[in-house]
């Protein structure tokens, strides 16, 4: 519980800092900073070497599994049963999922539902 609260406040601080930096860059009239991209599309073979693809997709898969384990742990903590857990590959994208019983999910309070839905971000 304390870790979740600390992580939430830390995330809000980082989000605020990022917002302030973005606004300050947008308001300055420096043409060099306007051409910088904040996000960059990853294109295998162009800006991501083909030799690094296995590491890239392994990192995505591990991140997805850890994320979904967070939802599963929160569901167990809120006494919501789940059908199962799985991993998949959609075209080339690896992912993971937790299959919750929707009837159990609908019976709990909205705050308990929110704890489950947000747990993937905090775990």
> Which residues are within 8 A (CB) of 16 and not within 5 positions of it... i.e. 6 or more apart?
none
Please report which helix (H) or strand (E) contains residue 90, including its range.
Answer: strand 82-90
Active site includes 68? Answer: yes
- The single residue of 3, 8, 68, 111 carrying the catalytic annotation is 68
Helices 110-122 and 53-77 sit at what angle, rounded to 10 degrees? 150
Q: Which of 74, 79, 80 is nearest to 101 (CA)?
A: 80
Distances (CA, A) of 54 to 42, 47, 60, 109, 119: 14, 15, 10, 42, 28
**Active-site residue set:** 68
């Amino acid at each position: 519980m304390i870790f979740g609260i600390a992580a939430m406040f830390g995330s809000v601080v980082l989000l605020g800092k990022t917002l302030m930096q973005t606004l300050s860059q947008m308001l300055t009239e420096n043409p060099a900073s306007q051409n910088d991209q904040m996000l960059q599309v990853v294109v295998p073979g162009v800006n991501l070497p083909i030799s690094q693809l296995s590491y890239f997709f392994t990192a995505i898969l591990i991140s997805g599994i850890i994320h979904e384990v967070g939802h599963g742990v929160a569901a167990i903590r809120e006494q919501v049963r789940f059908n199962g857990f799985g991993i998949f590959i959609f075209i080339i994208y690896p992912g993971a999922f937790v299959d919750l019983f929707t009837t159990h999910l609908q019976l709990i309070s909205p705050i308990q539902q929110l704890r489950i839905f947000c747990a993937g971000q905090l775990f």
